């Protein structure tokens, strides 16, 4: 049985390009992001992969990335489930601010803590721990069971919501997960064992 799970962070968004905190702000892909998404689809097609179901967030940049990937795979009508449990981390009062301006306002160290600590919340927003607390149960209840029954599953989501999944898959912890980078438009191809642990992992980049 093939227990295939592919995770893809959305391509570069318009606000990634402008170096702005995005969070739950519903911005679309940049031109580069569109190409990153298409390239992700071509890389998956190059492995001969096809999918039975897809999951994505409630935000357009992840949905658009998924649509472009499926277009490259010629699977445009694939059954897709959307849920805000897979949304990006909510950056609260930082949303819409330029990251360099935020550093000038609060200091390099404070902004670094907000961005890279596990359990410190930015003003009015979520910590990475908060994001894990909503994304991981959704994964365990809705995504993982389908993988374990042999469905080939594609997830298009966000850097921080995917960190929650990778934290479990790669057996990372509160100290190691914040520094784990997930590139835009780079597919992470997992094959799982029957007990849900990782049999193999391939990062499709370069």
Q: What stretch of H or E contains 13?
A: none
d(CA 107, CA 71): 43
C-alpha distances in angstroms, 202 versus 6, 69, 88, 163? 9, 17, 23, 16
For the question of residue 158 being annotated catalytic, the response is no
Tokens of 147: 């993988």
Which of 36, 72, 88, 151 is labelled catalytic? 88
For the question of residue 88 being annotated catalytic, the response is yes
Q: So which residues are the catalytic ones? A: 10, 88
């Amino acid at each position: 049985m093939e227990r295939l799970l592919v995770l893809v962070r959305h391509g570069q968004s318009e606000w990634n390009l402008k170096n702005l905190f995005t969070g739950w702000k519903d911005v679309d892909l940049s031109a580069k992001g569109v190409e990153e998404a298409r390239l992700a689809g071509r890389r998956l097609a190059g492995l001969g992969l096809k999918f039975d179901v897809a999951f994505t967030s409630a935000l357009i940049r992840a949905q658009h990335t998924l649509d472009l990937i499926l277009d490259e795979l010629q699977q445009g009508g694939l059954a897709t489930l959307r849920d805000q449990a897979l949304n990006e981390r909510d950056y609260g009062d930082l949303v819409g601010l330029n990251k360099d301006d935020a550093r000038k306002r609060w200091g390099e160290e404070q902004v670094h803590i907000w961005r890279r600590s596990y359990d410190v919340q930015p003003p009015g927003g979520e910590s990475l721990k908060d994001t894990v607390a909503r994304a991981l149960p959704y994964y365990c209840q809705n995504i993982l069971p389908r993988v374990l029954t042999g469905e080939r599953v594609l997830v298009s989501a966000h850097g921080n919501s995917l960190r929650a999944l990778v934290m479990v898959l790669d057996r990372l912890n509160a100290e190691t997960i914040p520094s784990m980078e997930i590139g835009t438009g780079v597919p992470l191809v997992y094959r799982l064992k029957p007990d849900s642990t990782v049999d193999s992992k391939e990062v499709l980049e370069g």
